A and B are shown apart, each in its own frame.
Chain A
Amino acid sequence: MNLPRGALGVLLVAALVVAGLVLPRWLVFLLALALAKGVAVLSVVVLMRAGLVSFGQGLFFAGAAYAAGFAMRWWGIREALLLVPWSVGLAVGLGALAGLLVARYRDIFFAMLTLALSMVLYGVLIKAYGVTGGSDGIRIPTPTLLGLQLSGDDARLVVYYLAVAATAAAAWAVGRYAAAPAGYLAHAVRDNEVRVAYLGAPVSRIVYAAFLLSSGLAGLGGALTALNVGHVDPGLAYWTTSGELVFIAVLGGTGTVLGPLAGAVVYELIRSYAFKYAPYAWQMLVGAAMLLIILFLPGGLWSPVERVWRRAQG
């Protein structure tokens, strides 16, 4: 982490804070949604840097969102500062369990096993109507902040700032992880597992650690989404949710932290329009865009910008 990048981060957070005050309400809502998604995209990025593609981040995304819903429904907890850690904790717990199975696998095995696990959760959420509300899902009432009752617009703004704070924290944490030995060893696993083992480091534990971090990030994204939308449904666990995260990761590139976050904002803005006009062609556009990026811009849309940035720094 060099100084200019840290400064850039502070600048961006300041811009987001101001944005909350000056932008129209619907756009603030959209931004909060995009940031939540961006955090979840970081969860995909962390794995991709270790050479792993997960098509099942919905498992943690939905798991955390439902955890928030249950906490409200069963225990009447509405405090945002309790709900978020609880949901993230649950997602990490899920990750610790799932990781026991999937951390041994790579490539297509890893991708398909994670997909299968998330689809199992989806099936459970649909079928266990009595607990989960089936395909209707659960309503999430307006949260409180430090015990303060919030109403309508205030609540939205508070959730937005929560999302900004959480995103900044997640970005900082991922940046730090990526620059530390732990992050580099994950990258090294992607390049050459055999060598990692012959340096004396346990490959499976490196992958497991990356998986835990990833499940926590996906959970954070899910919890923020639940608070922002005010409703959770099984669609959060469906493969389309996970696939979208993978797409945004490819779009934003996996080399930086800001790339995927910027990708999430751009994606969410475009989608909110495009989906209206072409509901049955949206996935097709996403697929085509992903193909083009993978084949022609493997570093993501951000990579040319990154290159210019590096050159400017000398």
Chain B
Amino acid sequence: MKTPILEVEDLTLHFGSITAAERETVIVYPGELVGIVGPNGAGKTTFLNLITGYLRPERGTIRFWGQDVVGLAPHQITALGVGRSFQIPQLFLTLTVRENVLVALATREGRWASVRRPLHEPARVQAADEVLLQFGLLAQADRPAGELPEGGRKLLDVAMAFALRPRLLLMDEPTSGVSAREKFQVMDTLVQALREGGITALFVEHDMDVVRRYATRVLVLSNGRILADGVPSEVLEDPEIRLAVTGRR
């Protein structure tokens, strides 16, 4: 058996009377592509916030590559090789699109405090442009990120997480701002990049077709609880599960 990348046990958090996470237990192995589904307010984003240190659990353990990370800050967990993209894109809106990626690359190199050479080093600019090309953003490279349309912001947000070349990537609704037509196209790009980089990933997704097509495994959340965990084709056929996720039979 391969050693797990992520082990979550008994993870619990409440916001007042709201149960955001209740005894969640998950183990993720290298190479998996795990879809996380569930109705609005199920606790999907909260799950990502918890395991990346943005929120602190009331109870439970979280381990990446065997290392206990409860109590670590997001930047420490990120430095372990965990990348994340966001449901609401988190960009540097007054920097250009290229600079957003350059900052990510410089940080990945561990040079966030460096003053020795400029940010726009030729080699780094080239690397940034490769990332932008991959995500179809190269034409907008010199525009401030704040001028990007919704879909572009979403892509840039994911691109920045990719630029970190993490070993584990967590994506919160990577295709939500993208038009229905381009959804599969974007997912194809993402999945190919994941494969090329040997990256394990978890992604939150509302579109069941996307999950069925791309995920190797699916986690179903509802009211902070894990209702089901298994192969998409089986799990998503269960009428009870479908009702819980979509409200329809």
Contacts and interface: CB of A to CB of B under 8 A. Distances in A.
A–B direct contact (CB < 8 Å): yes
Contacts of B107: 181, 185, 196, 199-201
> Which residue, of B92, B95, B108, has the highest number of chain A Cβ atoms within 10 A?
B92
A198 B75 contact: yes
Given A187-B94, A191-B92, A180 B115 contact: yes
A188 interface: yes
Given A179-B120, A198-B75, A199-B104, A184 B94 contact: no
A199 B92 CA distance: 12
A180 B119 contact: yes
A188 B92 contact: yes
A1 B117 CA distance: 11
B112 interface: yes
Contact of B106 (A184, A194, A195, A203): A184
A29 interface: no
B113 A188 contact: no
Contacts of B218: none
B73 A199 contact: no
A195 B112 contact: no
B39 to A, nearest CB: 25
Interface in A200-218: 200-203, 205-206, 209
B79 interface: yes
Interface string A165-205: 00000000000110111111101101110111111111101
Interface in B90-106: 90-95, 99, 102-104, 106
Contact of A199 (B103, B113, B119, B120): B103
B73 A206 contact: no
A206 B75 CA distance: 12
B112 A185 contact: yes
Contact of B78 (A176, A179, A199): A199
Given A179-B119, A184-B95, A195-B160, A203 B113 contact: no
B75 to A, nearest CB: 4
Q: Chain B interface secondary structure, helix, strand, loop or mixed?
A: loop
A179 B116 CA distance: 10
B94 A198 contact: no
A198 B90 contact: yes
A53 B87 CA distance: 31
Given A184-B99, A202-B75, A203-B75, A195 B90 contact: yes
B17 interface: no
Nearest to B118: A179
A236 to B, nearest CB: 29
> Which residue, of B99, B115, B116, has the highest number of chain A Cβ atoms within 10 A?
B115
B114 interface: yes
B222 to A, nearest CB: 27
Interface in B34-48: none
Interface in B66-85: 73-75, 78-79, 83-84
Given A180-B114, A199-B160, A202-B75, A191 B119 contact: no
A235 B119 CA distance: 40
A176 B117 CA distance: 8
Contact of B52 (A179, A182, A198): A198
Contacts of A201: 75, 107, 112
Contacts of B83: 198
B164 interface: yes
B116 A184 contact: no
A187 B112 contact: no
A216 B152 CA distance: 41
A196 B78 CA distance: 10
Given A195-B92, A200-B164, 15 more contacts: A179-B120, A181-B103, A183-B115, A184-B106, A185-B112, A191-B94, A191-B95, A195-B160, A196-B107, A198-B161, A199-B75, A199-B103, A199-B160, A201-B107, A203-B75
Interface of A: 1, 176-177, 179-185, 187-188, 190-192, 194-203, 205-206, 209
10 contacts: A183-B119, A185-B112, A194-B54, A194-B90, A197-B74, A198-B161, A200-B78, A200-B107, A202-B73, A206-B112
